[in-house]
Amino acid sequence: MRTAAVLVSAAAQRMSAERGKLIDGMVDMLAGEIAPLQHDDDHLLAMLAASTHESVMGGLRVLENNLDPRSSEAGEAALQYTRRLAQRAIPLSALLRAFRLGHASFVEMLLAEIAADPDVSTADAAAAGVVAMRQSTGYVDTVSEQLVVAYEREREAWTQHHSMLRAGMIKSLLDGDDVDVPATEASLGYRLGQTHLGLLLWFDREMGAPGEGLLTLEKLATRIAAALDGLHLSVPADADSVQVWIGLPGGDPGETAAPTVGSILEAVPEPRPRAALGRPATGIAGFRSSHRQARAARQVAVAAGRRCGPVTDYAEVGAIALLCTDLATTRTWVQDTLGGLAGDDEATERLRETVRVFLHLGSSHTAAAEKLNLHKNSVVYRIGRAEALRGRPLRSDRADVELALRAAHLLGPVVLDQQS
């Protein structure tokens, strides 16, 4: 009487004798059923065939020799194919599905082979089927676990390597180095001749788990680009900030970019990220300039804290960005320019706001009163009080006063007199 293990071994030997046809059919089935494995690349298809051949032969060897499937090791061809899938960002789920489908097909053929033996009773065939299922499942589970580990390691290493390459290419672009434009565009997946919107996204403080903040910012970059009907390029700047370029198919979006970015950020729960925007500009020079402006806008945002809100647009703060390059000197200049109007208290802040609106509206008491919802006489009084505090008329150096008021409005305590 033959045992179940012997029956399985005999069936496996008969399948092994026909392995060429068996494996070819399985490769065709896997390539046809699993979309991510359908390649135009002949080399990758050859790697799929080699991996399938190796895996099937490994399973047959376990069954032929009644080996412990837990001692099985993934073959080199299967490991190479798995690593190549990871490099090409083909999802791990495709590989695992290939194992499930391949295993189901293999077991079906094996059970049919056992049942085809005229000397095997139904009961013996059922017992052999249990052994075959247990051993083949153990083999697939053991090998697939090894391949999952190989995939994840390769994916992490490849992602880091690819990120370093991307970061290096972007740095060369920003540094003004000569670059091979077609090759760089192909590697980055981003056109350099279009109109670019430079954007920085960041969190003011570190997020929880490592990588959590970057993942959130990358997703936001994708959403912002989609809202602006563009494709984007992004690269981490550090653990909690991302540099982004959005290719704008319609050119300059005018005044719509900042509100669009703001509405997306406002929908994010606290702690809410922040954004700084450059002006849209075209070509490689625009790629650089818009990024530089976004960095300058961020400098304003960081100096001002939350006074700037979630979005800081260089188009609105360009002059203040220049002042932020030397805050100590700027602080002295603001206080010298505003005199007593540089005091850091609520009453003086109300006077500064009145003066700022008054000058912006052409020194019209009536227009300022309407804008501030005040009586005209109140505006007249506040302007007089402001000039008294300053110690000289506002018109004496109006341009400087307006810029200093703008700096005080945005930067607040950073440039104001804390001793007042």
Q: pLDDT tens-digit profile of 258-297?
A: 999 999 999 888 888 999 999 999 999 999 999 999 999 9
Could you tell me how many residues make up the chain? Answer: 420
Select the more confidently predicted residue: 86 or 142: 142
Q: Does residue 360 register a pLDDT over 70?
A: yes
CA distance 297 to 276: 6
**CA atoms within 13 A of residue 6's CA, in its CB half-sphere:** 5
Q: What share of the chain is helix, strand, coil (3-state, %, to 5)?
A: 70, 10, 20
Residue 294 is predicted with a pLDDT of 96
Residue 119: predicted pLDDT: 83
Whether the pLDDT of residue 210 is over 70: the answer is no
Name every residue whose Cβ is closer than 8 Å to that of residue 56 and which is 6 or more positions away in sequence: 19, 22, 23, 26, 102, 106
Q: Which among 311, 336, 358, 347 is positioned nearest to 407, based on CA atoms?
A: 336
The band of 256, judged by pLDDT with boundaries at 50, 70 and 90, is confident
Structure tokens at 255: 């005044």
Residues 6+ apart with CB under 8 A from 270: none
> Per-residue pLDDT averaged across 60-74, rounded?
92
- Report pLDDT for 36: 82
Q: What is the pLDDT of residues 220-235, one digit of tens each?
A: 999 999 999 999 999 8
Structure confidence at residue 404 (pLDDT): 92
Of the chain, the end-to-end C-alpha distance in Å amounts to: 104
Which residue do the tokens 């494709």 mark? 231
Q: What element of type H or E holds 340?
A: none
Percent of residues, the chain, with pLDDT higher than 90: 45
Buried b (16+ CB within 10 A) or exposed e, 34-52: beebeeeeeebeebbbbbb
**Cα(229)–Cα(247) distance, integer angstroms:** 9
Angle, CA of 255, 259 and 262, to the nearest 5°: 150
Residue of 208, 33, 195 lying closest to 216 (CA atoms): 208
Beta strand pairing call for 195-202 and 281-282: antiparallel
For 253-264, give one letter per residue: b (16+ CB within 10 A) or e: beeebbebbbeb
Residue that the structure tokens 């440039």 belong to: 415
SS3 175: helix
Residue 2 pLDDT level (bands cut at 50, 70, 90): confident
Give yes or no for residue 250 having a pLDDT over 70.
yes
Cα→Cα distances 360→357, 373, 401, 405, 419, Å: 5, 16, 11, 11, 28
Q: Do 127 and 48 contact (CB within 8 A), yes or no?
A: no
Q: What is the pLDDT of residue 40?
A: 63
Averaged pLDDT, 83-95:
86
Average pLDDT of the chain is 88
pLDDT computed for residue 209 by the predictor: 58
Q: What is the pLDDT of residues 304-327, one digit of tens each?
A: 887 778 999 999 999 999 998 888
Is residue 381 very low, low, confident or very high in pLDDT (cuts 50, 70, 90)? very high
On the 0-12 / 13-18 / 19+ scale of CB atoms within 10 A, 380 is middle
166: pLDDT strictly greater than 90 = no
Cis upstream peptide for 69 (omega within 30°): no
pLDDT of amino acid 201: 95
Per-residue pLDDT for 420 more than 60? no
Count of other CB atoms within 10 angstroms of residue 177: 9
4 pLDDT band, cuts 50/70/90, is: confident
Split at pLDDT 50, 70, 90, the class of 1 is low
pLDDT higher than threshold 90 for residue 148: yes
What pLDDT sits at residue 179? 86
Residue scoring higher pLDDT (255 or 300): 300
What average pLDDT does range 230-249 have in this prediction? 89
Cα R_g (the chain), whole angstroms: 34
Identify the pLDDT of residue 211. 66
Listed residue (150, 137, 28) closest to 86, CA to CA: 150
